[in-house]
Amino acid sequence: MIILRTAGEVDTFLATPLGRETEGIIRPHLERLADYEFEDIAAIAICEGRETPASLGLDPYAFEFQDDHPVVGFREQVFVTDQSGCGWIILSRL
């Protein structure tokens, strides 16, 4: 599992082959976060193999948003974990 918590980590990840593959899913989240000055990303996790949101201690059915991206082969789920709206963006292979 790859976990990204800062904008710098995301930039480094997006330069990798897997990062380029998932950039179309990740980039809109970064654009929304750009409105919040001095904020790092709560967390983005890219699950591979048998890893799931439950691997992070998240209830796998408690997501706020889910979208499948069959062209790139990933499922995107957004989990909000506290009242401030912070949470996880999880990408899992379909």
> pLDDT of 13-57, one tens digit each?
999 999 999 999 998 877 766 555 555 557 889 988 788 888 888
pLDDT score recorded for residue 57: 85
Does the residue 20 lie in any domain?
yes
Q: Is residue 16 within 8 Å of residue 22, measured between CB atoms?
A: no
Range(s) of the domain holding residue 29: 2-75
pLDDT above 90 for 65: no
Does the residue 89 lie in any domain?
no
pLDDT score recorded for residue 78: 87
pLDDT score recorded for residue 7: 77
Does the residue 82 lie in any domain?
no
pLDDT above 60 for 11: yes
Does the residue 83 lie in any domain?
no
Does the residue 84 lie in any domain?
no
Give the number of domains in the chain. Answer: 1
Q: Which residue has the higher pLDDT, 7 or 68?
A: 68
Does the residue 85 lie in any domain?
no
Q: Which residue has the higher pLDDT, 8 or 23?
A: 23
pLDDT above 80 for 66: yes
Does the residue 43 lie in any domain?
yes
Does the residue 51 lie in any domain?
yes
Strand partners, 91: 46, 76
